[in-house]
Structure 1
Amino acid sequence: MRFLFVFCCCWMLSFGNGVLGKTSNSQINKEYVEKLLEKSSTYLKSSHKDVKEKGIKLLNFLEVLVKDQQDAYLKLKVNSAKIDFFLNNRDTIYAKQYIDKNFELIDRIKDERELGLNYEVLGVLMSLQGKKEAAKTAYIKAKDKLSEFGKPADRIDINYNLAIILLREEAWKASREHALASLKAIKETGVKKDRVKRLQMMLATSHIYLGEYVAAQASFDSILQDAYYKPDQYNFEGLFSHTKGIYFEEKNELKKAAFHYRESSKHYKKYAYEKMNEVSSSIALENKLRLQEKENDKIRVENELNKERLKSTKYLFILCMIVIAILIVFGANQFKAVRYKTKVNQQLTKNYEDLVLANKKVDLAYQAKSDFMDAITHELLTPLNTIKGISFLLQKRKKNTEEEHQMKLINLSSDYLLEMINDVIHLNALNNGGEEIKREPFNLNFLIKDLVASSLVTKNNKNNKIHCTLDDKIPEVLSGDMLKVSRVVTHLLDNALKFTKEGDVYVSTSLLHSGKETVDVRFVIKDTGRGMSDKERQQIFDIFNQGSVKVNREYGGVGLGLSIVKKILTLLEGEATVESSLGKGATFSFDLSFGRVATQDKPQEKALKNSWSEDKSRLNVLLVEDNKVNQLITEKIITNYGFKCDSANDGEEAVALTREKEYSLVLMDVMMPKMDGFEATKHIKGMYEKLPVIALTALSEDLNKEKFDEAGIDEVLSKPVNPEKLYQTIVRYSKPMS
């Protein structure tokens, strides 16, 4: 039957002009496709597996059918049907593929209404994936398009969806506005009236939490008067009773609230029982229908045979036998083909299920890796923060020569450990695609001079000389990612100083090309150190590779710096080259392209010190830290600078303190018991939107940027924090208390 159905479809497409006269082939295709789409939709709504499979095969057939058609709207309809199927089955991978296909088609036809509808579907996909902000953004884009270009009926669903997502966010006022807009569109168009009662339910919930009890009661009354409201719809009735329970609970009428909660439970039980009976009834009915079908087929065949017996003659019988023989051969071939296709489809289905499972495992593994990085970073940097803090405080005291030497050893060891941890975090962020290219104006020659000066102070412990030659033809200010350029130069400069003893290191820049919009610059870092063999040079950019164990023991390090250099340069569309031989040093070079900056766009020096910063006692800082040692040390650093400081042991205590006292700034740890820093920040920002919250954390900012932004954190300071940077941040963000 399936073969016959497809054969007839192909015959209609091939010979449609001959059968239907002068009707165009495109018109036939459109009507034909729309009918088949309606039929596939009916099949897919069925609870029977075989019927659903017919719907799936019909959809696949339609996709092939419209592939070479010029009608983009026809393709949009078929793609939209497949998107609905994948979303209903929570297959977000294939749903996203077809949504992207529709975006490409819409870009070709420039249909703003279709664009809005596709954004609405994208919002549904993002909601299924748990990406609340992305879903909300897609819905807002859809609303903007549909409000201007859509039909009145289009505003029903988009406002309905926005009302739901805002209700979950507890944005009661915004949810109420969209629910009212959806109701207005239903009233204007007269369609989808069955949604009115659910919209009134959302309105009632918003009214309750906004303290608008009269309006909430009006919504309840409207539901009871709705033509589509039926008391025997136990699922909705359960939700209705639950919402009324909330209503009376908020009004402190606890007995009534308890009554409605009990009623809600009863309705949900009835709904579950009703569903169970429906499934049993549908199975029994299906069996009866199949038996009746078989009986009818048997009777029909018998009647046809009786008629044939009456009409048949000797020659007709022979002819029938010949035809039957042909049909048997043809049927046998078709049976083999169908069986083969069935096996292929089963294998494809299994492969698809395996792929979905594999994707889930990959997602879980990625999440596990991210959680591990957060945990290990926190566990390493938290005690390191204690060491750095104690070291800073001890430096303020008077000490003898031996103690001063010991303090330097502590600082060197902690700085080395911090540098290694930061390299691991940075490499992980680069591997996960967590780095973005920024465009900001900066002075390249000043940056190189600062990096050289810093290396002379912090890294040059082997009596090396650094020679810096900068091309004065390079424009004073360029546009590019200053931080990534500084990281590349710093790693290469540190590498040269590490492998050179009492030698020379040469740093130079030269202008390669100067255009109207771009400037190309070559960077060269050369040393007179130990150099490397051909084998070492080929592996020099590999992770954790320093040539040999002997080199590692003699010079130290873990072999991450040059791996980071390679990945950053790849991100900046550059490539490092190295020339070296044993005993003759090494020369690293790379080319980068920068943008030109107009004179008026040059960066200006900004004073960090405010006019009121002398009166530091007027600044009151709230420190939120669950580690008692870190809490005491950080509080001591803050008070040493002259600021006031209170401490909270967890997020709940921090929220309570901000209600009781006025603070200039909050320093928030993230990983804490009871209530973490993200949730605590949301509560504080909800009460005091303009109160600055600075994260003081061991978590990677690059890997957790979305979490920091969602919580409303103003800036992130990584542990162990530099005391001077902490001071500057407090001054920059704080305002004195009145």
Structure 2
Amino acid sequence: MTSSLPHKSIGALAPFLLCMLACIQISFGQNNINTTAKAQSIFDEFTEYRHQNKIDKALEKLDEAAEIAEDSEDAKLLLDTYHQYARLFLEEGDRETAIFYWDRASILLKDISYSYGQAFHLYLDAALRFDEGNNFQSLKALEESRMLSNNRNLSNNILLLEAYIYTNIEKYEDAIKNLHALIVNSDDKERPYLATRANIQLAKISLGLGDLDEGIIHSKAALELAQKHGFAKQIRTANEQLSIIYEKTGSYDQSLFYIKALEKIKDSIFNIEKTKLEAKTADRIRFEHQMNEINKLTARNEELSESKNRSEITAILTSAFLTIISLLAVSLFRNNQIKLKTNDLLYTKNKELELARDSAVSAMEAKTNFLSTVTHELRTPLYAVTGLTHLLLEENPAEHQKEHLKSLKFSGEYLLNFINDILQINKIDADKLEPLSVEFKLHKVLTDVVDSLQQNANENKTKLILDYDPNIPQHLLGDPIKISQIFMNLVGNALKFTKNGKVEVIAKMLDKKEDQVKLYFEVKDNGIGISEDQQKNIFDSFEQGSIQINREYGGTGLGLTIVKSLLGIFGSTIHLESELGEGSSFFFELDLKCDADAQEEEVAFELNPEEFEFKGLHVLVVEDNKINQVITKKMLTKKEITCDIANNGNEAIDLAKTNTYDAILMDIHMPGISGEEATRQIRKFDQDIPIIALTAISLDDSLDSFYQAGCNDVVTKPFKPEVFYQKIGENIFRKKMEGSV
């Protein structure tokens, strides 16, 4: 019986104890709720004072919140308070004090789990980095902050800071997108304040982009909101913006109105006294907090000094250790700051280099297009010069006129060669040339070059010799036109500087493996030679060694540049050996493919220009230039060839449908449809008629495209009469002979 009494007593007390415990919990919970509500009320008042730029009152409210947090030992509330201190001081331009509070918050964050606090801490870190000019590190911190919390107010402030950063790095579309979102935000704490700042930033961007009307709209919207809610700093900024914008628009009366409003704000006694009071309050609170930290450290030091478990040597070593750690921390911090600034600088420099590269490319394209247009346009009047000169020489002029006409013809041909050289260099520089891979006979290519320059050799009383290795396969695959151009320039250059001497063209086979052959080429002369100093620059454009050489021998100085560039297309390099007074030797190697299984085929017939019977031929001349029409018609009449004239591509198609012609001479560049398109249309109903393209070929023109359109041959304007007649005869009579065979 006696043992059961205590159990009964405890059973009777249990409900009472439970009730007491529940009351304590409820009381503690209520205290927490009351503390949170009071703190929230203080933060709301702080936010209002901050918006109105009443810094002294805002700081006093934060001081109240800090006392509550310390009294209730609420680490999260204290962290939020430190964050607001840091933001406020940073907004007022006191970066040092802002960092002081940010560091204190960093210490608190180590011991608590608080996602919103961590997110806001990163937001402040981004603001500090933005303040020091590290835009891209700031963006990275904002992105991390956004991932930690979806708090609406924090998200809106992130949008605003992002807009400032995007403006700095000239991503105006992204900045404007963020700011428009803030104008219509639904923030429950800072809706009008965020909209005001967004309007001010939009006005700033509009002013920078030259959209003054848009700037006025946003500045006035910002001013209206700021005046309605008492946002003092934003009222001042909006007035400044409006005075500047109206001055730029020439509305000086409006500008003066806002300048006066601005001066009234700046000169008010209240504003001056307010600034002094805010500074005094800020200094007092900063001093109190810093003294509080010092007192804590002093108390801690006294506690350590009184400890009997610490020896003097341990204290000294600890102090030294802490000093070293502090120095290392400072060093690491500075290194990190330098690294961040260096990264931003590198990004900026990379952007500058990209802009410089784009500018250089644009300049190169402009130069290329300019040269292409100029060289193309010069050919049209040159056609008239050379054509009319030829016709006048054919009409038995007086002896005293012949000399002038021959000089005119020489000058025209010289200018034409110069234009052709410039166009060739321009095509190579613009990567418009690619080597062909067609079957050709190297021996014929070199023979044609030698034959065409034989007259030049005779005039200089110089022997021109071709030394050709018979072991070279007769059927090679490559680009005969470009190889011909290389030798025309090399041999022409050798003949120009060799009088009463000898020029040799050498072609030898070095190696042959299956369908690959390595060939050695050399053009050597015993002319004036090139000095060692001049050899360094001889392949540069417009370089002929000296002014004296240029005046004595003439020429453009582009021939060797073209040779070097053309060989570069083949993957080969030109080499030079020369000695003054002894002569020069230019040599290079080429790798070509050969057709080992090809059978030698003799041409069934050759067309001799003297055998062409032009009389009675009837052709169609398609040409839009009236002078060119007259010249071409007269040149045809000289050979007793009759012609019809088409002024454009459409006329050419109509005439070709309704008449029978022996050939069509087609100009490529014409208003309306081009010569290429006209050729395509004619080929739809006539596959056999020879069509010869006559064109002042430009940079963008491609011989391949002419042939693909259906042209049988191409003659470039201004053309030599003998070439003109040769092409007409070959294409007309070859067609007839092939038909008869």
After TM superposition, the score normalised by the length of structure 2 is 0.49
